[in-house]
Structure 1
Amino acid sequence: MPLLQRCKAAIVQMTAVNDVAANFAACAAHVREARDRGCAIVFLPENFSFMGSRPGEAQTVAEPLDGPTMRRYLDLARETGLWLSLGGFQERGPDGDERIYNTHCIVDGEGRLVAKYRKIHLYDAPFVGLVESRQAISGDSLVTADSPAGRLGVSICYDLRFPELYQKLSFLHGAQVLLMPSAFAMKTGEAHWETLLRCRAIETQCYVVAAAQVGQHNTDGNKRCSWGHAVAFDPWGKCIADLGDAPGLATFDIDPELIAETRRNMPMARHRRYDIYGDGPHAAPLSPADTEGEPDASIGFG
Structure 2
Amino acid sequence: MPQFLGRTALVTGAARGEGRSHAVRLPAEGADVAVLDICRHLDSATYPGPSETDLGDTVAAIEQEDRAAFARTVDVRDEQSVQCYVDDAVAALGSVDIVSVNAGIFGPGSPTWDVEINQWREVIDINLTGAFTTARAVLPQMIRAGNGGAIVFTSSAVAIRAVENCADYVASKAGVIGLMKAMALELGRHEIRVDALCPTLVDTHMILNEPLYRLFRPDLERPGLADVEPLFRANNVLDTPWVEPRDVSEAVVWLASEAARYVTGVALPVDAGMSLK
Scaled by the length of structure 1, the TM-score of the pair is 0.38
Greater RCO, CA 8 A, separation 6+: 1
Scaled by the length of structure 2, the TM-score of the pair is 0.40
